[in-house]
Structure 1
Amino acid sequence: MVHPGGFEPPTARFVAEYSIQLSYGCIGKLTLLQILIPR
């Protein structure tokens, strides 16, 4: 099967979006903890 130019496999896109969500999620949690627990 030949894919048109610029085609991105759904799996790769899903993994990229999932990793981005994990990254932002970790940053958000760390920021929230820093606000709730000042040092």
Structure 2
Amino acid sequence: MKPHLQSTVFTLLERNKSQRQIKRLTGIDPKTIHRSAAVSPS
């Protein structure tokens, strides 16, 4: 995943957005979002 999209996903996760909401906003596959959440720095 490109760095700017990854930081967007991290920001949205910190703001308690659901993976489904993040998918709608970014177009990123929910499985990718889930993997990113697992390695999230927070």
TM over 0.5: no
TM bucket, shorter chain: 0.3 to 0.5
Question: TM-score with structure 1 length normalisation?
Answer: 0.38
Please tell me whether Structure 1 or Structure 2 has the larger radius of gyration of its CA atoms. Answer: 1
